[in-house]
Amino acid sequence: MLESFPYTCRKVVPDNAYLRELVVSFGDTGYVALFEIEDELTINILAVRHQREDDYH
């Protein structure tokens, strides 16, 4: 999904369309991947955290 439809993931801040988060389910909880869309072919994964961890911002 991230490769094909990165703009469907939720925005981190309303005024930046390129900084987004992807929720990855894993068991009862999951992970949140923070990523930035650089261009139509490049996505940079900036951080990955467990949903129960403190925020990475």
Domain region containing 13: 6-50
- Total number of domains constituting the chain: 1
Tokens of 49: 């955290």
In a domain, residue 56? The reply is no
In a domain, residue 10? The reply is yes
What is the pLDDT at residue 52?
76
Query: Pick from 41, 52, 2, 4: which is nearest to 22 by CA?
Result: 2
Query: Which amino acid is residue 15, in one-letter code?
Result: D
In a domain, residue 55? The reply is no
In a domain, residue 25? The reply is yes
- Please give the average pLDDT of every successive group of 10 residues along the chain, which has 57 residues: 91 96 89 94 94 68
In a domain, residue 57? The reply is no
What is the pLDDT at residue 43?
96
**Which DSSP string corresponds to 27-41?**
TTEEEEEEEEEEETT
Order of strands, sheet of 10-11, starting from the edge strand that comes earlier in the sequence? 10-11, 19-26, 29-39, 42-50
What is the pLDDT at residue 45?
96
In a domain, residue 1? The reply is no
In a domain, residue 20? The reply is yes
